[in-house]
Structure 1
Amino acid sequence: MESRVEVKQPTLNTSGFSDDLSETRKMNSSNGRPTNKFEDQVPFSPEIAYHQPESTMAARGSHPGESLTVCSETLGGIIYRSIRLVVFSNRLNLLMPFGPLAILVQKLTGHHGWVFGLSLLGIMPLAERLGYATEQLAFYTGDTVGGLLNATFGNATELIISLYALKSGLTRVVQLSLLGSILSNMLLVLGCAFLSGGIVFSKKEQVFNKAAATVNSGLLLMAVMGLLFPAVLHYTRTEVHFGKSELALSRFSSCVMLVAYAAYLFFQLRNQSGLYISANEEERETGDNSNDDESPEISKWESIIWLLVMTAWISILSEYLVGAIEGASNSWNIPVTFISVILLPLVGNAAEHASAIMFAMKDKLDISLGVAIGSSTQISMFVIPFCVVMGWIMGQPLDLNFQLFETAALFLTVIVVAFMLQEGTANYFKGVMLVLCYLIVAASFYVHVDSNSEDQPVP
């Protein structure tokens, strides 16, 4: 009677099928049955290949199971997963429909108050999603470049709004909105980051790179100097050619500031990149970082595509937003100054708010500073001079004379923040102080009447 041999299911390990096959050959030989190399071959099973551990696949190299695993996610699956993560993973995205609704209200009714309010609500989640996509891209670039990218795309909203306002001849709105962005980033965004990080890590003192903060503070003081001299020249009536020297000085200073910012980028990213290495990167080098298990949720190219999509949609809504500013001021009985300095930056800085707080709560305070202070530096040293040059090209007389009250507010803000950063440490008390300073600034602009506009005191 022929004996039957029961062969167990092969077990996959780093050595493949060799152990189980050798055991099967021994059992067949003991029963007098010749072994056949073609019988001993285990047929390929897609189910087995999909359940094979990644370590086994990496050890064995390329084979049919590996190609099936890699190609298992189709293009449609990638798009669905990306949309689900970017669009449907945040409750703030519930405000996205307000953007198309603002366009619809503009087409049907033309009520500027509603259009302005709906546009504000529609841009807010888009600006926050810009921060998310930039954060994902920062996984592939490192903390230093990541902070710069976050500041750049975080300021995309302000730059787009400013260019549309400049095109419409609203030069004063451009000045006030960019000034408000600087004040909001330095006081509110940085204050919220210090506050949230200090609450989460209340038992230890958070630290950041003092050298990078010092350089940014110096650049901000240089920007204040560039804004201060045209204002002083105007109010002291010491211009050689009244009404022309002030504009010429502003354009010359803008070109100098653009050169200074380009030199700063080259200095930071190339020659002295080691000087500005963040504390987070130092911990990764020494193996002391507890956040090493973090990984990006979307790929690098997905992040870039989402950045372009969000920027394009923000530019569309910004056109409706800028066109409704004056109408909203009349409808809501709120000065254009307050809308430009406080409301517009709150929406434009939504990305900075979300990113800075999120990184601070992960003990990545260097990125938070790169977002908040780096964003203020970029606005003052790049966006404002760039808008002056673009106004020069468009024939719009945009200058650096931000008026005496606004320039004084910026100067005092830079001094306060520079003192807060000089120790290289952060805690929740510093965060509270910065947020309270921003409340004082907001209240001051609410009761301030701009001499260059038709603002009237609110009854």
Structure 2
Amino acid sequence: MATNNLQMAGINSHLEMGALEGRSTLEFEDESLASPGPFSNKTSSLDAAPNRFFFDDGSEDFGCRCICKSVLRSIAVVFFTNKLNLLLPCGPLAILVDKLTKHDGWVFLLSLLGIIPLAERLGWATEQLASYTGSTVGGLLSATFGNATELIISMYALKSGMLRVLQQSLLGSILSNMLLVLGCSFFAGGIVHSNKEQVFDKATAIMNSGLLLMAVMGLLFPAVLHFTHTELHFGKSELALSRFSSCIMLVAYGAYLFFQLTSNRNAYSPVKEEESQNDGSSGDEEAPEISKCGSIIWLFILTVWISVLSEYLVNAIEGASVSLNIPVSFISVILLPIVGNAAEHAAAVMFAMKDKLDISLGVAIGSSTQISMFGIPFCVVVGWIMGRPMDLNFQLFETATLFMTVLVVAFMLQEGTSNYFKGLMLLFCYLIVAASFFVHIDPKSIQDKPSKP
């Protein structure tokens, strides 16, 4: 009986082991069919082996196809995602008209229109690159390349000896940012958010206002020295003072950048934090559309193309002034800056309508600060190197206009709040400035006498 019991126990255990073994086999087969387990990975690796072998001989062709697809996608994103790109053909048309007809009026207008989408794409490429560099460096990159169009036009004007066009275009860029861009931002934001008073960082605005007043001081003293005839060495002291003051202003701007990157690292970070808090999908919206390398390549291409058109634009200003019967001062102070800042204008207004006034002020006041504390002194130093007598004497009319503009904007910013009425007042001030330069003409003694290099 004991033997029989042992035999029966062995048979039962054998049957149980077989059942368990069969169940585990079935479960393994089911899992291999339902989910990608180790077995499926082995199968896929076996299936992939012939494919790898197939591409061994043509791996270079496969890599070329990937590169071509990436390049085509980048081109499509750059050229077919913005309606302003409809103006891109105006650039080649300007060159064609210049070669065939030499009609300066049409060359100027076509070049002006052709630069608008390029300036917008340059700002877009800068934003793409800034998304890889962090908030602080990205903000500084945006501010720098945002003024690239004006600086390129200024370099060509300096090279051609058109110093008054250079001075007035830089002055116009400051006036445009401080009155037109800021005025539109305050007005649009105030209309959209009429039920409340918009606020912004008063400390940053006051700091930028102080830098702008320092720039006014740098421009004021050479002009006063000239018009009071109190130069120690006539014709030399004014230029020497301008060059010394320019070096001081560049050092001051360098110290300002150092302060932003070290002691005030959060100057641009609230922008990112506010977007992430207010909009849950901001991460998707801020994802870069092109790679870091692609951003750098497009920055280079767009800068070169803007440089080409800027040369045609600057060379056609004098002829366009005659053919269109518009003063050169109006073209330099009003038309050129509006074109160069077109993309920034739209961006600042859009952010103000989203109740993000700190970003709008960064675009408007930040760009004005950079032009006044870096762009103008930089042109003076470059002119010094090139042997051009570029100085900080912007003449009495232009210096007084800048001084009054900085005072008005400083008073508007001192409370740290904005509304649509403040924006309306800034816009009215800009209309007065535009009308003033439409009836203003330089004396013949200081008018440009362009010299071909």
Q: TM-score, normalised on structure 2?
A: 0.82
Structure 1 pair 250/31, CA: closer, same or farther in 2 (3 Å)?
Answer: closer
Task: Map 1:373-388 to 2 at 5 A.
Answer: 373-388=365-380
1:414 and 1:300, CA in 2 relative to 1: closer, same or farther beyond 3 A?
farther
1:143–1:358 distance in 2 versus 1, CA, 3 Å? farther
CA displacement at 1:129 relative to structure 2: 1.7
Aligned to 2:201: 209
Per-residue deviation, 1:303: 3.0
Relative to structure 1, the CA distance from residue 131 to residue 201 in structure 2 (aligned partners, 3 Å threshold; closer, same or farther) is: farther
Structure 1 residue 322 corresponds to structure 2 residue 352? no
Q: Per-residue deviation at 1:223?
A: 0.3
Which of 402, 415, 418 is residue 410 of structure 2 equivalent to? 418
CA distance in 2, matches of 1:105, 1:393: 34
1:168 is matched with which residue?
160
Tell me which residue corresponds to 2:395: 403
Q: 1:358 aligns with which of 342, 350, 364?
A: 350
Check conservation: 1:162, 1:174, Cα contact below 8 A.
yes
The letter for the 1-side match of 2:25 is: T
Q: Structure 1 residues 34, 414: closer, same or farther in 2, change over 3 A?
A: closer
* DSSP 3-state at the match of 2:119: helix
Which structure has more helix as a fraction of its residues? 2
2:262 alignment partner, SS class = helix
Structure 1 counterpart of 2:193, which letter? F
Query: Is residue 247 of structure 1 aligned with residue 246 of structure 2?
Result: no
1:397-426 deviations in Å (ceiling 9; x for gaps)? 000000000000000000111111111122
Contact 2:249 2:377 in 1 (8 A): yes
In 1, distance between residues paired with 2:145 and 2:164?
24
Query: Of the candidates 216, 229, 244, which is equivalent to residue 237 of structure 1?
Result: 229
Query: 2:287 matched to which residue of 1?
Result: 296
2:414 is matched by which residue type in structure 1? Answer: Q
Q: Deviations over 1:160-200 (max 9, x none)?
A: 11111111111111101100111001111111222222233
Aligned equivalents of 1:388 and 1:340: distance in 2? 18
What's the CA shift for 1:38?
7.6
Segment drifting more, 366-375 vs 440-449:
366-375
How many pairs are equivalent? 404
> Structure 1 residues 309 and 44 mapped into 2: Cα distance closer, same or farther (>3 Å)?
farther
SS of residue paired to 2:252: helix
| Amino acid of the structure 2 residue aligned with 1:295 | E
Specify whether residues 140 and 119 from structure 1 end up closer, same or farther in structure 2 by C-alpha distance, changes over 3 A only.
same
Q: Equivalent residue for 1:42?
A: 32
Question: How far does residue 351 in structure 1 lie from its aligned partner after superposition?
Answer: 2.5
Amino acid at match of 2:167: Q
Q: Structure 1-normalised TM-score?
A: 0.81
Q: Is 2:398 the counterpart of 1:428? A: no
1:263 alignment counterpart: 255
In the TM superposition, residue 358 of structure 1 has moved relative to its aligned partner by: 2.6
Distance in 1 (CA, whole Å) between partners of 2:240 and 2:291 is 43
Aligned mates of 1:147, 1:198 — CA distance in 2: 25
For residue 212 of structure 1, what is the amino acid of its counterpart?
T
Q: Which of these residues, 109, 117, 141, is aligned with residue 149 of structure 1? A: 141
Q: What is the aligned partner in structure 2 of residue 348 from structure 1?
A: 340
Partner residue, 1:108: 100
In structure 2, the CA distance between the partners of 1:318 and 1:283, relative to structure 1 (3 Å rule), is: closer
Query: How far apart are residue 152 of structure 1 and its match?
Result: 1.0
Q: Judging changes above 3 Å, is the alpha-carbon distance between structure 1 residues 169 and 284 closer, same or farther for their aligned structure 2 residues?
A: closer
What residue in structure 1 maps to residue 72 of structure 2? 80
CA-CA distance at 1:77 after TM superposition: 3.8
Q: Decide whether the 8 Å contact of 1:147 with 1:374 is kept in 2.
A: no
Q: CA RMSD in A?
A: 2.9
Q: Are 2:189 and 1:197 aligned?
A: yes
CA distance in 1, matches of 2:93, 2:71: 26
Residue in 2 aligned with 1:181?
173
2:437 corresponds, among 408, 421, 445, to 445
Shift of 1:93: 1.1
Match of residue 60 from structure 1: none
Shift in alpha-carbon separation, 1:197–1:290, aligned structure 2, 3 A: farther
**CA offset at residue 40 of structure 1?**
5.5
Greater Rg over alpha carbons, structure: 2
- Name the CA distance, whole Å, in 2 between partners of 1:402 and 1:34: 90
Indicate conservation of the 8 Å contact 2:128/2:288, yes or no.
Answer: yes
| 2:146–2:367 Cα contact (<8 Å) kept | yes
CA–CA separation in structure 2 for the residues paired with 1:34 and 1:263:
73
Matches of 2:437 and 2:138 in 1, distance apart? 33
Q: Distance in 1 between matches of 2:31 and 2:379?
A: 71
5+ unaligned residues in a row in structure 2: which ranges?
1-17, 38-47, 49-62, 449-453
Q: How many angstroms apart in 2 are the aligned matches of 1:34 and 1:250?
A: 89
Establish whether residue 225 from structure 1 lines up as the match of residue 217 from structure 2. yes
C-alpha change, 1:359 and 1:311, in structure 2 (3 Å) is farther
C-alpha contact 2:105 2:324 (8 A) present in aligned 1: yes
Return 5+ residue gaps in structure 1 as ranges.
1-27, 50-63, 65-70
Q: Higher mean Cα deviation, 403-412 or 309-318? A: 309-318
Bigger mean CA offset, 253-262 vs 75-84: 75-84
In structure 2, the CA distance between the partners of 1:34 and 1:380, relative to structure 1 (3 Å rule), is closer
Distance change in 2, residues 1:93/1:34 (3 Å): closer
CA contact (8 A) 1:230 1:401 kept: yes
Shift of 1:130: 1.9
Q: C-alpha separation between the residues in 1 aligned to 2:89 and 2:321?
A: 24
* CA distance 1:29–1:96, change in 2 (3 Å): farther
Quick one: structure 1 residues 300 and 267, their matched pair in 2 at CA, closer, same or farther if it must change by over 3 Å?
farther
Establish whether residue 91 from structure 1 lines up as the match of residue 80 from structure 2: no
Asked whether the 8 Å contact 2:131–2:288 carries over to 1, the reply is no
- The one-letter code matched in structure 2 to 1:338 is F
SS across alignment from 2:265: coil
CA distance change for structure 1 residues 270 and 289 in 2, over 3 Å: closer, same or farther? farther
Q: Judging changes above 3 Å, is the alpha-carbon distance between structure 1 residues 30 and 126 closer, same or farther for their aligned structure 2 residues?
A: same
Structure 2 counterpart of 1:348, which letter? G
